[in-house]
Structure 1
Amino acid sequence: MDGVNKHEGYIPTSSQEERDFTRQREQWAISLSNIANVVLLLSKIYASYVSLSLAIIASTMDSLLDLLSGIIIWWAAMSMKRVNKYIYPIGKKRRQPLEIMIFACVMTMLGLEIIIESSYKLLWVVGIMLTVTGIKFLLFIFCRQFDNKIVKAYAQDHFFDVITNFVSLGATLLAKAYVWWLDPIGAILLAFYTIYIWAGTIIENAQSLSSTSAPSNFLAKLTYLVWNHDRAIIKIKTIYAYTLGDYYFAKIDIVLSKDMLLWKAHDIGELLQN
């Protein structure tokens, strides 16, 4: 008996209406994030043009890649809803971490590019940056409440933007008031932070694609669930689970009485699988 379980849970506890409402809110979070990325990118382009600050330009490059990566993730989410089961018999669940890895790779390349370009000295504008940071922080609060991995990637991106905006803001102000080299140094620090954060994301999603075994606490709960599923189960012959993108793929073999009717044994197995 094979089945796929989401990482975050073991037994569905919400109604179909609640799950539909949660999926709708997750879609709102993704749409709001994409719209905000467009508006904030335009604002940062204007701030970069007026201020000529290296730190602001670095942050603008980050927002540009946010938008491009957001389009990639949105396309992945839409494509997973339209699945030809004859071509993809187990769905497209593995595409989700792949697209997030693409997102992370692009962000890491951004960090390397900022380090290369950070020898230039520029200035900046405060009001737009504070507005951008505030909007990003609100989007971070909104997106972090969801369990969906794509929405969580957006939450991580929004939080990263809050950090980079504050660092670029502080670096530029200090550079203007005290020493010129604080602005490029701030850009270099942002670049290293970008590489650190998104390299970790690449590693995390690569592990989810490597079909590693589920943790022992997951297997223990799964064993408890199977054993207490039906009194007709005599013993559990085989049980294991491994990562399948954002999910766990579980294989379970149970032993029933040899005298049990076939239709009853089928119903027990099918209910357990569902």
Structure 2
Amino acid sequence: MDAVANNHTTLDFLRQPSPGVDQTRDKTTRRATTLSLLANVTLFAVKLWGFILSGSKSVLASLADSAVDIASQLVIYICYRRAKHVDPRYPVGKARLETVGTIISACIMALSAVEVIQVSGAEVVKAISTGGTPELEIGFWVFGILGGAIGLKAALFLYCRSHRAVSDTVLVLAEDHWNDVISNTAAVVAAAISSRNRDRLWWVDPTGGIMISLYIIYSWVKLAMKQIDQIVGRSAPDSFIEGVKALANAHDGDMEVDVIRAYHFGHQYFVELEVVFPPHKTVAESHDVAVHLQQKVEALQRVERAFVHVDYQKRDAPEHNIDWSRTSLLGDHFNPRAPCG
């Protein structure tokens, strides 16, 4: 699902958002969340009915996925709503809650998949040890249920994927719907093979449940690692930094860009710029140019906050007590706590 998570293939972030863009993003997120929740509740009900009648472990894996979809989606929605709530105790906002909700959902998904693996594995061991064949009764209605789920989830995936850059919430929903398309397709194939020759191919159905669960674990762990990178503060892509650099260089003829740092702070970016003005520039002149640059950078898509530090000369040593971006340039014995200068 790299196609879902990759939001930086172009320099679209240089387009400043139009008025009302926040309201549009909120509306899109609410619509995607509502449609996904309704779909998950409906699919859970019909899959539960299908599992009770068939006993298929592949259908069980798909059922567990739908059940956890509902729980994780509630977590994501609560985090999204809390992130929008203004609280003076959080001076830079709570947008990181969306990222936290994604990680929690990934953990829930992975744990539920582990449970399905345990149930399916126990059935395989029991069948081998006793020499019996697990009961499996699959009719065309089961394939109809799973086929309908595939079509519905595919449509929701395409919708959420087209709006994946709106927020972490929509991105996670797109990932979830894609996983459901894969898992339901695999469930149909495994159930069809087992039902054709139950005496010899009974093992295909529980094995299909295990394989579906392993894929679910892999995809959600992969997504969780990306979200962890965002919370930790992974650097923005080079294309983004180069775009900010070009914007800053064209801002004022007397100003020279010294250092640019852009890094994740949740889904959005924090941008730090260190700029140099001639010593003869007054404080008032430098301040006004720097504030104007800050506003221009903060108007870019994906930028949550920008900080512009003004200096009158370039400096080789880092100006912060801890500056991990320069430690590799200063040698293995660099002490990040040591004073500069």
Deviation, structure 1 residue 258: 4.3
2:185 counterpart residue number: 166
- What TM-score, normalized to structure 1? 0.90
Residue 194 of structure 1 corresponds to: 216
- Aligned residues of 1:94 and 1:244 also touching (Cα < 8 A): yes
Match of 1:126 in 2: 143
The answer to whether residue 73 in structure 2 is matched with residue 51 in structure 1 is no
The residue aligned with 2:72 is 69
Greater relative contact order (CA < 8 Å, ≥ 6 in sequence): 1
2:154 counterpart of 1:152: no
Residue 284 of structure 2 corresponds to residue 267 of structure 1:
no
Residue 173 of structure 1 and its aligned partner are, at CA, apart by 1.3
Q: Quote the offset at 1:32 in angstroms.
A: 0.8
Matched, 1:219 2:236: no
Q: Structure 1 residue 262: deviation in Å?
A: 4.5
d(CA) in 2 for partners of 1:78, 1:24: 12
CA deviation digits over 1:48-84, x for unaligned, max 9?
Answer: 1222211111111110000000000001110111021
- Distance (whole Å) between structure 2 residues aligned to residue 267 and residue 47 of structure 1: 67
- Deviation string, structure 1 residues 210-262 (Cα, Å, up to 9, x no partner): 223333332222211111122342x1233212221112211112223445455
Question: How many equivalent residue pairs?
Answer: 266
Structure 1: unaligned runs, 5 residues or longer? 1-6
- Which residue identity does 1:196 align to in structure 2? Y
Change in Cα spacing, 1:18 to 1:206, as seen in structure 2 (3 Å) is closer
Q: Distance in 2 between matches of 1:185 and 1:167?
A: 11
Residue 275 of structure 2 corresponds to: 254
Residue type at the aligned position of 2:250: N
* Other-structure match for 2:159: 142
Aligned to 1:36: 39
Secondary structure at the residue paired with 1:209? helix
Contact map agreement 2:36 2:156 (CA 8 A) in 1: yes
The correspondence for 1:114, drawn from 108, 113, 116, is 116
The alignment partner of 2:233 has SS state of coil
Listed one character per residue, the Cα deviations across residues 164-204 of structure 1 (whole Å, up to 9, x for unaligned) are 11111111111011221111111111111111111111211
Deviation track 1:94-146 (CA, whole Å, cap 9, x = no partner) reads: 22221111111111112211110003344442211111111111101111011
Percent identity over the alignment is 30
Larger radius of gyration: 2
Describe the SS at the equivalent of 2:39: helix
Give the conservation status (yes or no) of the 8 Å contact 1:236–1:252. Answer: yes
Name the aligned partner's letter for residue 203 of structure 1: M
Give structure 2 stretches of 5+ with no counterpart.
1-6, 124-133, 296-341
Aligned residue number for residue 79 of structure 1: 82
Give me the CA root mean square deviation.
Answer: 1.9
